[in-house]
Amino acid sequence: MRDLTNRVLDTAAQLGATYADVRVIRRRDESITVKSGRVEGVAMGENDGFGVRVVVDGAWGFAASDRLELEEADRVGALAVRIAKASSTALRRPVDLDGRPPASGAYETPVEEDPFKIPLERKISDLVEADRAAGAVEGVTFTESMYSGHREWKTFAATDGSFTEQVITQVGTAVEANAIEGDEHQRRSYPDAGGGYQAAGYEYIRGLDMLGNAQSVGDEAVALLHAPQCPPGVRTIVLDPSMLYLQIHESCGHPSELDRVFGTEASYAGTSFLTPDKLEEGFQYGSELVTIVADATAPGGMGTFGWDDEGVAAQQVPLVQNGRFVGYLSSRETAPRVGRQSGGAMRADGWNRIPLIRMTNVNMVPVPGMSLDEIVADTDDGLYLANNRSWSIDDRRLNFQFATEVAYEIKGGKRGQLYKNATYTGITYEFWRSCDAVGDDRSYVMLGTPNCGKGEPSQTARVGHAVPGARFRNVQVGVGKW
Amino acid sequence: MSRPNKLASPEASASTPAATADLARRAGAEDPEAALALAEDVLGRALRIGATEAEVLVMAGDSALTRFANSEIHQNVAERNLTVSLRHVVGRRIAVVSTGRVDAEGLRSLVHRAAAIARSCEELEDWAGLPAPADAARSIGSTIGWSDATAVATPEFRADGVRAVIAAADAVGVLAYGSFSTEAEAVAVANSAGIRAAEQRTSSQLLTVHMSPDGGTGYAESVGMDATTIDAAAVGREAATKARASDRPVTVEPGDYPVVLEEYAVVDVTDMLGYVGFSALAVQEERSFAEPGRKIGTELVTIIDDGADTAGLPMSFDYEGVRKQRVSLLEAGVCRDVVYDSQTAARAGHISTGHGLPAPNPWGPFPLNAVMSAGTTPREELIGGLDRGLLVTRFHYTNVVHPKLAMITGMTRDGTFLVEGGRIVGPVRNLRFTQSYLEALAGVSAVSSTRKTLKGFLGAAVVPALRIDAWTFTGVTEF
């Protein structure tokens, strides 16, 4: 491997690169899809290649290839330099990287049961059993379940002498039941609408007890068909972790990305309301109960690693501290512009994509005192919302709207009436300032998503969110004409 | 490009490691015949180790994208990639394995892993077999979607275009943010039922958001298979004019407004309807609104899917190698048909319309070449029909709230204007909408006589601008 990395770095340097790094990546993905009890798809994919990033005349260039050959290393290194020179013809701010020390070492996701060594038959039968249990409920129209295993071997090398090797392993699964009658279509899923994901082995899948939870998924999908429409109004809401994690993802994680702040995602994902002046003033992002940290060291997180794709070591970066905005997700290029060192959030979607600032594990810190159940018991009148069904937020991450699979009325501290088609909307900082209860360790759970989209060409990131559930006051519920 | 119609029997296609390596080297955007030969090589390997049916999809090509922000190039990338995907069938047991490793050892590993996975699978009870259309051979060698100029586009060519966009921004004192991409690929499919399909495809897209220091933003986009047809300066001027026109927006209250949707917004309507409804799988799973004969739009609304329309980004066959049919989705407001792949077609007793995606595909077929018919109203006269309404340039972050009602939420973005008495009064802050797209089509009162080719999330679409009598805005943001 060093032959290839040395060759491409040497080529780039000889042609004028003042800095270059290269990632050589091999990926293996395995997926199983079951629909209405039938195994619809079993797939395994492998790909490998390398991508080289260079700075020439103060401008970036990047090129990648799936051919791991020394001659190809010469071609790709030279192409990256040529591209950087083209970039330099439209340049206003030359690249200036922070001075992190060279990185070296190895990291590997802790795994108890290697998911790629579990017999495929076993993984299929586990999933089929759960899917059929959900589909056995009378009134379920169709079910859809999935299992996913992902492993990435990554070597990083840079002209500053950095050399790291990492092996990341992640798994995920979901069971989903759909009930349809006339124009009404209701869905319930477990453990999460997009699936439960962690950086772990098959022990995580076993721990979810998919079979034990499948029937209730079917039961509730059918019950939703005949449940009343969630009434509109300004309400108190309690968000289950299965919804709260996405609220954090969209309204805290993305606006904290410093590349968005500086406009480099403006034409696609948008910018951010969290401008640098808000960092200086300690903008009140939320109530004092709200503390959010980007933690690339969190056990089980989909955003956990040893080093990011610039060779910056995994670390914890506070984003919101007791309600005050205190930090960004950042890179070696962007962090110095706000007077800081990179927080290690540069991540690329494989060998053929350039690193971007991405979430690692953006977690909400639990608050000692009440479990999520106790928060419900402490609520006189409200709604309990779980499992996301729809999400949308404006291009500066202010106006959001979410829909959930279920809503339960809370009356006198108890969960009661089931409602369908629940939606809620708000303005990010107003919403987080209305947070008046956060769950403690007893309801703290690591969730995540494998498909956070960003960038052109498009990239998907695998990110984590550990959350405890929380309560919010005066939230507009019920949007649109039903 | 032409290719002799010599469909060698797969069993006879054993090749030496050197020959395989040669194919892998040549299989790129410029050589679809090599891509097809590589597919045939893998097909033969699969059949020799016991596959009762097999399908091989090869996608090979080069893509590049030059990205700019704050009126400078900040990301500039290129990649070369080749993927071989094998659908390996033993009886009714099916496995799909893909790889980017295309040396002899990589391909040997590919077929043996596929065979092992297939042995582990349960039978798919209603497996209908791989497609075998009678006209497969006619799919070989099509260049309907190919442009030599795009295939040879250089970093310098893209940088030239970007500088033209930036110059237009500079001229009005705003900053430019966007991207200029060029792609060239070869797609080849070979299966054991006799399909042999291979063609070259290119595409190019230039888009920009211009942002003014006075709060205005403006969007423009141009898409084509020939990158040299994109007028970068014109794209830059369109965005610049709109950015300045949307300076200092004011707030209007949410509520129901008649709207004019520019083409950039309309592409979201065709995409979303294709995603939630115009798919045979959505119909078979009872989650689609689409029923033949159901009237959902006014007579002005006609949408087809046509992979042969050269106004879009043409493709002559799908990822199962089936020749693409022209499918009428919505004719004068009435639902007609949906798109099928081989599996949904077999379940319905229908023919595949050539809309399959790469296997395995739990999402079903999608219309990737939507074409909405033009109307008779000159584009600039659409707002003339609004007493008090909104002109919307584009949507942002739309998502499905309720699939069967095609209820969608999202934001306006990059140019939203209040119109009174048929004239633009001024820019407004962006609004959130929560709107059934079915009800929106029922309110279409005018369609522009011109159309634009754009890229949506389902592929390329050719769409006009629309005037719609009512659109439900449910919130407002701060900019």
Q: Is residue A462 part of a domain?
A: yes
Q: Examine the fold and report which residue of A225, A250, A279 is the final residue of a domain before the chain moves on.
A: A225
Note whether B98 contacts A421, CB cutoff 8 Å. no
Cis upstream peptide for A110 (omega within 30°): no
Chain B residues in contact with A41 (beta carbon < 8 A): 94, 96, 359-362
Residue B6 has pLDDT above 70, yes or no: no
Place of tokens 């943010």: B177
Q: Is the peptide bond before A457 cis (omega within 30 degrees of 0)?
A: yes
- Please indicate, yes or no, whether residues A26 and A147 belong to a single structural domain of this protein: yes
Q: Quote the domain boundaries for residue A389.
A: 233-477
Q: What percent of chain B lies above the pLDDT cut of 90?
A: 88
Looking at the fold, whether A212 and A247 belong to one and the same domain comes out as no
Instruction: Verify that A179 and A307 share a domain, yes or no.
Output: no
Chain B residues touching residue A185 (CB < 8 angstroms): 287, 402-404
Q: How confident is the model at residue B20 (pLDDT cuts 50, 70, 90)?
A: confident
| Tens digit of each residue's pLDDT (9 = 90 or more) over B398-446 | 999 999 999 999 999 999 999 999 999 999 999 999 999 999 999 999 9
Q: Which positions of chain A have pLDDT values less than 70?
A: none
For residue A231, is the peptide bond before it cis, meaning its omega torsion is within 30 degrees of 0? no
CB atoms within 10 A of CB A232: 13
Looking at residues B299-318, what average pLDDT do you find?
Answer: 96
Q: What is the pLDDT of residue A59?
A: 97
pLDDT of B5 over the 60 cut: no
User: Is A117 a member of any domain?
Assistant: yes
Pick from B401, B470, B476: nearest CA to B434: B401
Predicted pLDDT at A344:
98
- Measured CA to CA, the distance from residue A381 to residue A386 in angstroms comes to 17
- Spatial distance between the Cα atoms of A327 and A325, rounded to a whole number of angstroms: 6
- Chain A residues in contact with B393 by the CB 8 A cut-off are none
**CA distance to partner chain B, nearest, from residue A343 (Å):** 20
Does A448 share its domain with A346?
yes
Answer yes or no: do A426 and A383 share one domain. Answer: yes
Domain assignment present for residue A482? The answer is no
Q: Are residues A303 and A254 in the same domain?
A: yes
User: Which residues of chain A are within 8 Å of residue B286 when distances are taken between CB atoms?
Assistant: 141-142, 180
Question: Is any Cβ of chain B less than 8 angstroms from the Cβ of A275?
Answer: no
Q: Is the confidence at residue B62, as pLDDT, over 80?
A: yes
**Model pTM?**
0.95
A244 in the same domain as A266: yes
Report the residue of B66, B77, B222 to disrupt the A interface, i.e. the one with the largest count of A CBs within 10 Å: B77
Residue B404: φ, ψ to 5°: -75, -25
Average confidence score pLDDT of chain B? 94
Instruction: Tell me the per-residue pLDDT of B268-294, one tens digit each, with 9 for 90 and over.
Output: 999 999 999 999 999 999 999 999 999
Structure tokens belonging to residue B223: 């898409």
Within 8 A of B75 by CB-CB distance, chain A residues are 60, 62, 264, 354, 456
Q: How far is A404 from chain B (nearest CA, A)?
A: 9
The CA distance from B265 to A224, in Å, is 33
Q: What ipTM score was computed for the predicted complex, to two decimals?
A: 0.95
The DSSP symbol for A251 reads: I
User: Å from B96 to nearest chain A CA?
Assistant: 4
**Dihedral over alpha carbons B397, B400, B405, B410 (to 10 degrees):** -20
Q: Is the pLDDT of residue B465 over 50?
A: yes
Co-location of A395 and A451 in the same domain: yes
DSSP state of A160: T
What mean pLDDT do residues B121-146 have?
Answer: 81
- Closest CA in chain B for residue A480: B434
| Pairing state between β B140-145 and B175-191 | unpaired
Which residues neighbour B186 within 8 Å (Cβ) at sequence distance 6 or greater?
Answer: B27, B28, B29, B30, B31, B32, B34, B35, B58, B59, B60, B61, B198, B199, B200, B201
- Average the pLDDT over B169-191 and give the result: 97
Domain boundary among A225, A252, A286: A225
Question: Which 3-state string (H, E, C) describes B288-354?
Answer: CCCCCCCECCCCCCCEEECCCCCCCCCCCECCCCCECCCEEEEECCEECCCECCHHHHHHHCCCCCC
The answer to the question of residue A104 being in a domain is yes
Residue ranges of domains in chain B, CATH in brackets: 10-207 (3.30.2290.10), 249-479 (no CATH)
Mutation test of the interface with chain B: which of A26, A65, A66, A140, choosing the one with the most B Cβ atoms within 10 A?
Answer: A66
Q: Which of B78, B96, B287 shows the shortest C-beta gap to A83? A: B78
pLDDT digits (tens, 9 = 90+) for B217-253: 999 999 999 999 999 999 999 999 999 999 999 999 9
Q: Are residues A278 and A352 in the same domain?
A: yes
Rounded to a whole number, what is the distance in Å from the CA of A302 to chain B's nearest CA?
24
User: Is A37 among the domain residues?
Assistant: yes
Instruction: Answer yes or no: is A292 within a domain.
Output: yes
pLDDT in tens, B128-137: 999 987 655 4
* Distance to chain B for A223, nearest Cα, Å: 17
Let me know if residue A293 belongs to a domain.
yes
- Could you tell me what percent of chain B has a pLDDT over 70? 96
At B13, is the pLDDT very low, low, confident or very high (cuts 50, 70, 90)? very low
- Count how many domains chain A has: 2
Q: What is the pLDDT of residue B23?
A: 83
Please indicate whether residue A128 or residue B9 has the higher confidence score (pLDDT).
A128
Residues A62 and A85 in one domain: yes
Chain B 41-80, residues with CB within 8 Å of chain A CB atoms? 63-80
In this model, does residue B3 exceed pLDDT 70? Answer: no
Task: Confirm or reject contact between A317 and chain B (CB < 8 A).
Answer: no
| Same-domain status, A174 and A273 | no
Domain final residue, candidates A209, A225, A241? A225
**pLDDT surpassing 50 at residue B11:** no
Chain A: give the shortest CA distance to residue B285, in Å: 7
Do the domain assignments include residue A283?
yes
Are A293 and A399 contained in the same domain? yes
A476: nearest Cα among A438, A414, A434: A434
Task: Write out chain A residues lying below 8 Å of B457, CB-based.
Answer: none
The rounded distance, in Å, linking the Cα atoms of B65 and A456 is: 8
Q: What is the pLDDT, as a whole number, of residue A415?
A: 97
pLDDT band at B14 (very low <50, low <70, confident <90, very high): low
pLDDT score recorded for residue B9: 40
Q: What is the chain B residue with the closest CA to A124? A: B121
| Mutation for testing the A interface, residue in B65, B107, B434, B472 having most A CBs under 10 Å | B434
Calculate how close chain B gets to A481, using CA atoms only, in Å.
8
Q: What tens digit of pLDDT does each residue of B98-111 get?
A: 999 998 899 999 99
CATH number at residue A221: 3.30.2290.10
Q: Is A104 on the interface with B (CB under 8 A)?
A: no
